[in-house]
Structure 1
Amino acid sequence: MPDSATPFSPAQLTRDHILRALRLIERQGPPLPPSTVYDLVYKGRRYPPRPVLQLAFQLASGQPEATLPLLAGNPTNNLLERLDFTVTTKRPILANSPHDGDVAAQEAMQELYTGTASEADKPGTAQQRPHKEAPAAEAHEPTAPYQRPAPTLYTPAMARAELFLSDDELAAAQAALQRRRNLLLQGPPGTGKTFLARRLAWLALGSTDTARIELVQFHPSYSYEDFVQGFRPDERGTFRLRDGLLVEFCRRASQDPGRPYFLLIDELNRGNVARIFGELLLLLEADKRGPAHAVRLPYAPAGSPPFFVPENVFVIGTMNLADRSLAPLDYALRRRFAFVRLQPEFGEPLRALLAAHGVPAALISQLITRLTALNQTIADDPELGPDFCVGHSYFCQPPTHPTEAPEWLRLILQQEIGPLLDDYWLDQPAKAAAQKKRLLNGL
């Protein structure tokens, strides 16, 4: 129990305190007031964030009547997220469903629904609402129109020159993508997963045609409504049914069936993948592509055409294995993908890259020797393992002038690798300090 002379503060709460509160809620079921905007998601269940934090604060402080000195919303959510919990925004759901825990909030959101643009234009479909004058136009600074870069040729020889993969490894990744149409690149941070994903797409296209590549990054707040379809606010603040990135991308690909299109999903496992994908879990399969396997989307109005994934759409995802806060992918999703594992490459490709930029040979040898030894130490640590090794991409942007190389290497080790080691061995600061000393010795 905390010292009664020192007031207990929310900053002293740990992840274990929150887990203790969640276990108590599950075991004893104390009634919690429903949330209206946010949910704390843990093991597939949803809880109101501030009441959970309030209970954890009372248990940790040993004061059953203590009041949490934090407001709901961002102050509460930020603290929970710092403790590696996921906080998501509530979204409209079907009434009387198992998740219908906040009827009042859902009814309020339904009042905001104005239908799709086509429905709003039809006579007799709009509800009677008092007339409101259109808001005055706001002044904005002129913005330069975005223009996609012109495509340039991309060849296998160019890929071999910049990828740290052997010809056999590259060919195997390409074969997996063609066979399954869905490829997942996994490995420790800094192993060039996103870099490789984009190059695989370029190789298949034969050019850097960005019009046929779409990149999205998943995160804890990313939802089915963002990715597939759902109700989202427009520029006037009213909610309308909008197609998400996936539907728009598949529509574009279906209009150009003779050429491949690539959807790149960065940090795939940082989002709630099963919830984000929805029907895509079925339609991703290589033998479930095309109009014959189309399905009706749950938000789609009656009479709208069903949705399908065109045969010319390929999906490449990346997955970081070192983040302990991320849940593993379920087996239903895993069998839709072929997997390629990437490893840190502190060998001849990195040596050749650095030598080509004038980095002294002695410094290159120091870098490779020390990072190889560090990764062996990390791989042998029972609390870490190979998934936490340091990748080579930290060193793939050599200095512009050879005389800057020693300072370049020292700053990367000190400012980027060092803090990572402090986090890895948070409970063993002496071990982290010893490893940093070995890395920086003589630099």
Structure 2
Amino acid sequence: MFSSPGRVLPEAWRPLFAVRPFRRLLPVFALSDLGDGMSAVAVAWLALSLAPDGREGALVGISVAAYTLPGAFGALALGRWLRPLPAQRLLVADAALRALLLGAIPIAYLAGVLGPTGYVLLLGASSLFHAWGRAGKYALFAPFLDDGLRLAANSLLSASLSSATVLGPALAGLLAGTVSPAWIIGLDAVTFAVLAVQAGRVALPAAATGPTEAAGADGARQGLRVLRHHPELLGLLVLTWLFNLAYGPVEVALPLFVLHSLNDGAGLLGVYWAVFGLGAVVGALGAAAAGRLPLWPTVIAIVAGHGLGLLPFAVAHTAVPSLIGFAAAGAIYGPYSALSLALLQNRTPSGSLTTVLAARSAVLITAAPLGAALGALLLNRVAAPALLSGCGLAMILTAALAAVVHGCHALRRRRRDITLADPAPGATSADRPV
């Protein structure tokens, strides 16, 4: 006999399925995550096929950056129009725009008019609302979930994304042997169309249907002001930005590593992303346990461990060491998103949550694309294996710097506490802190 879903699911996730809006939207979130997982292979592989000879690395880097970077502009410049919208409308607007413009890519390819410039423009325009859509996705459920369920929801959404990183690239790798990657991007567009329709139909509690907070440049500054009053959150944002920056060149260098260093094709590229995602699923399942550990040592260890997982790319004559390392990197990274988002949701004033999440997205969305652009430039000077292992070294150095800064801050705080607890000799009782 088959087990019931409630028994199959981890205990921490079961209460979420009693929340009807979450239960109805999770399948379409998972579907759009699957589409993005396929695009992790298709966007880069289509860029390789469209690039002029000798410019493959540059176009891959620009395409990967275009798929995400304009979202930062949208978060900062479009607030006048997006400010009145509730989280649900933001999610629908982002999904609908992605469906429309990503869907234009296979149509242009079929018509024979898709060139490098048009491809980059369509990718860039499709991401304009993405910071707001992502903020809306995570802010949608926060008003009617308590603190414990928020961590569980973040963990489940991260596990869904990681699962799609297993299935999506593997599926794209299989399809790339029979159809153009343009059609795979078209499938991604279909998943976003389904998300837009279903998210627009779901009825939400009144607490989740109010307008979002101020956005745009003023809203982003407001969100950053909130973060400045919470040094722990600001420090986590800086560390995450540097982590994502160091990761950015990986998405550019990995296709070229497979194509030139291993002399293989899209199928093996899909395998790389699949093992990374499989590791991330395993790691995401441990997010609840990781949440009981001290925050800063945990996130610093995740950054350093992820970097260690990239070092085997220096062995370029065979895929096995780098596949093992990439899977380990995914497993180590797994809990990171759930931990950082839960901390933001729990420590941010409720009236500023969407603004802070949008500001966070606006900041973080620049990191990986800038890293990708930097990777495209570096590939003119260094080989893909050296760049991939160099990304790992950069993460290890970032973790070491974060550990030093955190240690100095903890030491200053300890000295301050000792001073407050033990006033100087001769101080009266009136001088003692109360």
Relative to the length of structure 1, the TM-score reads 0.21
Q: Which has the higher contact order (CA 8 A, sep 6+)?
A: 2
Q: Where is the strand percentage greater, Structure 1 or Structure 2?
A: 1
Q: Where is the helix percentage greater, Structure 1 or Structure 2?
A: 2
Considering only CA atoms, is the larger Rg found in Structure 1 or Structure 2? 1
Relative to the length of structure 2, the TM-score reads 0.22
